Amino acid sequence: METLATELLQELLRFNTVNPPGDERVAQEWLAGVLREAGFEVDLLGSTPERPNLVARLRGHAEGPNLCLLSHMDTVLATPSEWQRDPWSGDLVDGVVWGRGAQDMKSQTASEVAAALTLARSGWRPARGDLLVVCVVDEETGGAEGASWICREHPEKVRCAWVLNEGGGSVFPVGDTRNYGICIAEKGVFRFTLTVRGRAGHASMPGFADNALPKLAPLLATLAAARPELDPTDAPVGLMRGVGIEVGEDPAAALAELQELAPELARFVEPMLSVTFAPTMVQAGSKINVIPSEAWLKVDCRVPPGLGEDDARRRIEEALAGHDGYELSFDEEVVGNASPPEGALWDAIAGFLSREDPGARVVPTMLPAFTDSRTWRATFPECTAYGFFPQKDMTLYEMWPLVHGKDERIHTSDLGFAARAYHDIAKELLG
């Protein structure tokens, strides 16, 4: 399956699907043809003809719970001059495939499809339930035309009991032990704006005005440096327990212990444990010679699962204690989401890893960002959705800087490793 997954990935990388604008149709049509040839029923469904979502189904012999292998076809942009190789070349060099999407996430598409094709071409059909291969558009700009649209407009096409998606799976060593994370949770988004006001005037006579822009400076500096109180939830607590650290009544002490034990891992875990603030945009005025009467700061705020607007507001007000004269408004609110770290899908993943990498540990993780898993969890409350794209030759610490970065690439051995995982998990769950 490694060779098949590699060839599929190379072909997928050669389609430029940078979003915006996306232009995923040609890639989706090619992939649809590959799956139809192997016996899948394939639908291309979208809110516009240019951006169809692919839903492929391999029907089982009897009714039962469905397994969905989920991915997205769009990518973020790439600047060729910054790369060692053409981002849309799909070059294979010394066992490594290069291109935009080699990690996020055409690699997972390729491995999922390679597993599905291998199963279908062998004559296998699920004993119960259906195997779905779903490749959506528009994930990189929020999923309005992709996951959100398909789940709202055609829920019966994508209904399932289990989802395997992006967000976890890369190995991370702690001491002499190899650990694989299953992403069971994603933080919520509570983006907000701080607005300050003054009095406009001519820039040549600043003393006659009240410049709003400088009033943002202390708010910006405070939020950029803020470290809100920790709000530990199941996923990071389970991860830390998995590497031997108990999170008791003093989560800060537990984090300090992790920083001593595994400083690289601690950098990933720290944002899982609390509300985070990332000031990203400032605006004031529209003319160089006019002192602005209004200025605003936009902040990307991420919140652990289970916490809502009141919790976000409390942490913001705590961080800005001592500051006044600002107005707070929330611009986007998505509550964090999670699936339980137990059940048939968890057991199937753990079983595969115990066979493929004996002695390795399986631990829950959380994604500080979000993926299309949130849409499946919201649409189908009984669905278990995990982020799991296993890589054992490129560690978490090596692959993460490549996501949305230059020189994105992946080992072909990891493509084969992931394909074997999806192959074995599908057979175990569907019979």
Q: Which of 74, 104, 231, 414 is catalytic?
A: 74
**Sole residue written with tokens 């001592």:** 322
Pairing of strands 290-291, 201-202: antiparallel
- Name the DSSP class of 225: H
Q: Are 32 and 55 in contact (CB under 8 A)?
A: no
Cβ distance 157 to 134 under 8 Å? no
Measured in whole angstroms, how far is the alpha carbon of residue 64 from the centre of its chain?
Answer: 28
What's the count of helices (H) and strands (E) in the chain, helices before strands?
A: 14, 19
**195 contacts 299 by C-beta, under 8 angstroms:** no
155-193 residues labelled b (16+ CB within 10 A) or e (exposed): eeebbbbbbbbbbbbbbbebeeebbbbbbbbbbbbbbbb
SS3 45: strand
Pair 220, 297: CB distance under 8 Å:
yes
Q: Evaluate the omega torsion of the peptide bond into residue 20 and state whether it is cis, within 30 degrees of 0.
A: yes
Q: How many CA atoms lie within 13 A of 111 on its CB side?
A: 35
For the question of residue 139 being annotated catalytic, the response is yes
Residue 131 has phi, psi (to 5 degrees) of -95, 120
- Helix residue spans in 282-411 (DSSP H): 309-319, 344-356, 373-379, 396-399
Q: CA 28, CA 187: separation in Å to the nearest integer?
A: 30
Q: Which of 24, 104, 130, 139 is catalytic?
A: 139
Residues catalogued as catalytic: 74, 139
